[in-house]
Copies of this chain bind each other. A is one copy, B any other.
Amino acid sequence: MQDHLLSELGQQLRVDSVRAAAAAGSGHPTSSMSAADLMAVLLANHLHYDFEQPRHPGNDHLVFSKGHASPLLYSLFKAAGAISDEELLTFRKLGSRVEGHPTPRLPWVDVATGSLGQGLPIGVGLALARKRLDKVDSRVWVLCGDSELAEGSVWEAVEHGSYEHLDNLTAIIDVNRLGQRGPTRHAWDLGAYARRLHAFGWHTIEIDGHDVTAIDRAYGDAASTVGRPTAIIARTVKGRGVAAVENREGLHGKPLPDPEEAVAELGGVREMAVPVLGPAAAGIAQPSHEGPLTLPRFDPGEEVATRDAFGQALAALGTARGDVVVLDGEVGDSTRTELFAKEHPERFFECFIAEQQLVAAAIGIQARGWTPYASTFAAFFTRAYDFVRMASISRADLNLVGSHAGVAIGEDGPSQMGLEDLAAFRAVHGSTVLYPCDANQTARLTAEMAEESGIRYLRTTRGKTPVIYPPSESFPIGGSKLVRATDDDHVTIVAAGVTLHEAIAAADRLAQEGIHARVIDLYTVKPADAQTLRAAADLTGALVTVEDHHPEGGLGDAVLEAFCDGYPMPPTARLAVRDMPTSATPAQQLAAAGIDAEAIAAAARQLVGAAN
């Protein structure tokens, strides 16, 4: 497209952004107007995309990291003929797909954005998938705001992108000088951004973001740059084109005061339809092969850490399924993903100590149809909680595996203990939370979790635990296991993971005293098996829940919910980690926290005594 038409298209995008926000009565038109020329040139001359086939394997990817510029994105979709003007004007209304911030309810949107500093990290994941997995010539274009470059996650992504030589990735930085409440740290100092990005190994181009010739040349430059990603750092004006709002503070996230006048000032409504370039690549090395799954088998009685079983199962799963990809946060020797890395190095991604990027890369990779497992210590997933939350809005299918859960890690102390992870993952919309206690169970769940939709979290244990299930046992997600049961049990102990073994030991002690304890292995913490819990409650009239986690939001709360609709809940003792742990051996830790066999037996005795 020629320059004067590109400028016209830029104005059209501004006009439509203003109109959409006006129709909604809210939204971010001024943040859209600054980037309109950048996006006009991209859409018309550089983006390769078949809007009728959003799943076409050769399509480029366009990620709006500054998700609040959604009016601009939707105006682009309109210009490309993907949505109608009518739909554009349903912006932010109930039932509309054109939401306040982009989500994959629109088929041309790969991932949800709107929490700043996420689009570029996920874009790195997409570019990695394109380059190292799909092996297709497709480009990833990420529109970033200047404000969001303060987010550390952006610098994790910048480092990751250059380390992986992602020359198929272009960041377009809309330097409009103004954040939400005022000027950014660097205002219009393009050099400040360029110096930082260049030091991190990126190719950088500084331009006037309203000069369509310069923009066009910059995209060409980016596309021909080899061996490293490119950042186009564009000086722009927030609210560009409308004097009443141009470059003014206090107007972030507000419709224009006089939309009609603004549209007139911008030259009126246009109806340019852009013939977008088709996908550059046709074929694709899709993840294809499916073979028989031969999970590792462990003999009952053996002592095996569940993290070891996870690593072995993951390696086996990688052999059976060509779509399985593993990401590590520089702890693969601890989480045991190194076992996968050794067998399938081409599908293993080292993200170093950057947990936000670890999860973000996985989100980008799953958006390309691969099945990622990202793993670090349970404690350190808290670093990426915003990414997990947003992944659920992205409708992402994601396997996250946290090792070194709970006080059972022992001497390293509380900084390394995952004690909030069950609560955090349970609270994520549509999540599945698994906590196996033995090696065979872990192996099965490692394979099964990939069949669930949404965010699936598996919690593994550092130390060895006895194998209690035969390799043939199946563990449906949503189920539980009765590990000890008679027809006249007096009390039920509900546990999972490391505390399940303490529960068994407690039951053995209680049996010697004539107290029959039912033991439920609640290996699916979410969704919890309400039926089994209720049946046990009916029969035994007393419950003990025990978890290596803080008392709030974890297994204990999951059990309570099974009784909340008025189903009679028996007296329940809730054992959990209530004090701040220090350093000690694993056994001392369990004792100090009051979640070991002795504490469980004592709680059970008290409940049974009180009931008699």
A414 to B115, CA, bound (A): 10
Chain B residue with the shortest CB-CB distance to A611 = B566
A113 to B382, CA, bound (A): 15
Query: Given A198-B199, A427-B553, A99 and B583 touching (CB < 8 A)?
Result: yes
A516 to B526, CA, bound (A): 35
Instruction: Determine if A301 is an interface residue (Cβ-Cβ < 8 Å).
Output: no
Q: Cβ of B553 and Cβ of A426 under 8 Å apart?
A: yes
Instruction: Determine if A155 is an interface residue (Cβ-Cβ < 8 Å).
Output: yes
> Can you give 9 contacting A-B residue pairs, CB < 8 Å?
A113-B415, A150-B353, A163-B185, A181-B331, A196-B196, A380-B386, A383-B385, A393-B414, A424-B424
How far in angstroms is the closest Cβ of chain B from A12? 23
Chain B residues in 8 Å Cβ range of A390: 415
Which residue of B92, B115, B560, B607 contacts A383 across the interface (Cβ within 8 Å)? B115
A571 to B24, CA, bound (A): 42
Q: Cβ of A415 and Cβ of B552 under 8 Å apart?
A: no
Instruction: Determine if A239 is an interface residue (Cβ-Cβ < 8 Å).
Output: no
Instruction: Determine if A470 is an interface residue (Cβ-Cβ < 8 Å).
Output: no
Chain B residues in 8 Å Cβ range of A532: none
Chain B residues in 8 Å Cβ range of A574: 561, 564
List 15 other contacts, CB 8 Å, given A27-B411, A151-B152, A185-B352.
A94-B584, A94-B585, A113-B415, A114-B416, A115-B379, A115-B416, A150-B156, A150-B330, A155-B155, A181-B331, A380-B386, A385-B420, A426-B552, A542-B566, A566-B607
Instruction: Determine if A392 is an interface residue (Cβ-Cβ < 8 Å).
Output: yes
Which residue of B117, B150, B582 contacts A96 across the interface (Cβ within 8 Å)? B582
A385 to B420, CA, bound (A): 10
Instruction: State which of A127-135, A303-311, A332-340, A502-510 sits at the interface with chain B.
Output: A332-340
Q: Cβ of B415 and Cβ of A101 under 8 Å apart?
A: yes
Q: Cβ of B526 and Cβ of A552 under 8 Å apart?
A: yes
Instruction: Determine if A347 is an interface residue (Cβ-Cβ < 8 Å).
Output: no
Q: Cβ of A583 and Cβ of B96 under 8 Å apart?
A: yes
Closest 7 CB pairs of A and B: A152-B152, A566-B571, A114-B415, A553-B553, A423-B427, A199-B199, A100-B413
Per-residue 0/1 for A147-158: is the Cβ within 8 Å of any B Cβ (1 yes, 0 no)? 110111111100
A465 to B60, CA, bound (A): 46
Chain B residues in 8 Å Cβ range of A101: 412-413, 415-416
Q: Cβ of B389 and Cβ of A420 under 8 Å apart?
A: yes
Q: Cβ of B199 and Cβ of A385 under 8 Å apart?
A: no
Instruction: Determine if A402 is an interface residue (Cβ-Cβ < 8 Å).
Output: no
How far in angstroms is the closest Cβ of chain B from A413? 4
Q: Cβ of A100 and Cβ of B181 under 8 Å apart?
A: no
A554 to B553, CA, bound (A): 8
Size of A's binding interface in residues, CB under 8 A: 115
A580 to B395, CA, bound (A): 10
Instruction: Determine if A82 is an interface residue (Cβ-Cβ < 8 Å).
Output: no
A91 to B583, CA, bound (A): 8
Per-residue 0/1 for A385-399: is the Cβ within 8 Å of any B Cβ (1 yes, 0 no)? 110011011000000
Q: Cβ of B151 and Cβ of A415 under 8 Å apart?
A: no
User: For residues 7 through 45 of chain A, which have their beta carbon under 8 Å from a beta carbon of chain B?
Assistant: 24-27
Chain B residue with the shortest CB-CB distance to A26 = B411
Chain B residues in 8 Å Cβ range of A558: 552
Which residue of B116, B159, B583 contacts A94 across the interface (Cβ within 8 Å)? B583
Instruction: Determine if A95 is an interface residue (Cβ-Cβ < 8 Å).
Output: yes
Interface residues of A (CB under 8 A from B): 24-27, 67, 91-96, 99-101, 103, 105, 112-117, 147-148, 150-156, 159, 163, 179-181, 184-185, 195-196, 198-200, 250, 328, 330-334, 338, 352-357, 379-380, 382-383, 385-386, 389-390, 392-393, 410-416, 419-420, 423-424, 426-430, 526, 542, 550-554, 556-558, 560-561, 563-566, 569-574, 579-580, 582-585, 588, 592, 607, 610
Query: Given A180-B334, A584-B94, A152 and B357 touching (CB < 8 A)?
Result: yes
Q: Cβ of A580 and Cβ of B413 under 8 Å apart?
A: no
How far in angstroms is the closest Cβ of chain B from A363? 14
A200 to B198, CA, bound (A): 11
Query: Given A379-B389, A552-B427, A353 and B179 touching (CB < 8 A)?
Result: yes
How far in angstroms is the closest Cβ of chain B from A593? 12
How far in angstroms is the closest Cβ of chain B from A73? 13
How far in angstroms is the closest Cβ of chain B from A430? 7
Query: Given A100-B583, A354-B150, A412-B101, A557 and B552 touching (CB < 8 A)?
Result: yes
Q: Cβ of B553 and Cβ of A330 under 8 Å apart?
A: no
Q: Cβ of A565 and Cβ of B557 under 8 Å apart?
A: no
How far in angstroms is the closest Cβ of chain B from A200? 6
Q: Cβ of A353 and Cβ of B148 under 8 Å apart?
A: yes
Which residue of B152, B330, B423 contacts A179 across the interface (Cβ within 8 Å)? B330
Q: Cβ of A563 and Cβ of B569 under 8 Å apart?
A: yes
A579 to B117, CA, bound (A): 25
Chain B residues in 8 Å Cβ range of A150: 156, 159, 330, 352-354
Query: Given A147-B330, A333-B180, A566-B572, A415 and B94 touching (CB < 8 A)?
Result: no
How far in angstroms is the closest Cβ of chain B from A439? 22
Which residue of B95, B353, B423 contacts A424 across the interface (Cβ within 8 Å)? B423
Which residue of B179, B414, B583 contacts A352 across the interface (Cβ within 8 Å)? B179
A389 to B154, CA, bound (A): 22
Q: Cβ of A557 and Cβ of B566 under 8 Å apart?
A: no
Query: Given A156-B150, A553-B426, A184 and B383 touching (CB < 8 A)?
Result: no
Chain B residue with the shortest CB-CB distance to A155 = B155
A434 to B155, CA, bound (A): 34
Chain B residues in 8 Å Cβ range of A180: 330-331, 333-334
Chain B residues in 8 Å Cβ range of A582: 94-96, 99, 103, 105
Chain B residue with the shortest CB-CB distance to A549 = B427
Q: Cβ of B116 and Cβ of A592 under 8 Å apart?
A: no
